[in-house]
Amino acid sequence: MGAAETLASFFQAENDRDWETYRTFLHADVVWHLHAEHERVIQGIEEYLRVMQDAYRDSNTRFRVEEMHESARGERIAVLLIDDDGARSFEVFDFEDGRIRGEHEFLLG
């Protein structure tokens, strides 16, 4: 499975709140840089999952991929996501060994 297909499956698991499947897409040393009002760095699978589960705790919000662009070698993908409320985020994912190793997320509102 290529990076684009992996990312699509990762997003589907997130929208389905299927956290067991979701975790399989994350590299053991994943680092997520969240660029929002306050910069935050989330490291490791367990912290990543905790932050995601907290974010969705009382929410049924889903999102869709508006745009996806893959690097020539397939190790980096940039996406524009839009949720049910119209909030947007721009995210860049880096892959290592077929899993998400790094993420930079920019909340656009």
Could you read off the pLDDT of 56-80 as tens digits, one per residue? 999 999 999 999 999 999 999 999 9
What predicted TM-score, i.e. pTM, was given to this entire model?
0.94
Torsional class of 44: left (φ above 0), alpha (ψ -120 to 50), beta (otherwise): left
Phi, psi of 14 (to 5 degrees): -65, -45
Q: pLDDT at residue 109 above 90?
A: no
The answer to whether 50 and 22 are in contact (CB under 8 A) is: no
**CA 81 to chain CA mean position, Å:** 10
Instruction: Give the pLDDT band (50/70/90) at residue 100.
Output: very high
Residue 1 confidence class, pLDDT cut points 50, 70, 90: confident
Task: Please tell me the predicted confidence (pLDDT) of residue 37.
Answer: 83
- List Cβ neighbours of 21 (8 Å cut-off, separation of 6 or more): 9, 13
pLDDT (average), residues 11-36:
97
The residue count of the chain comes to 109
Distance between the two ends of the chain, CA-based, in angstroms? Answer: 32
- pLDDT tens-digit map of 81-98: 999 999 999 999 999 999
Given a contact cutoff of 8 angstroms between Cβ atoms, the answer to whether 15 and 7 are in contact is no
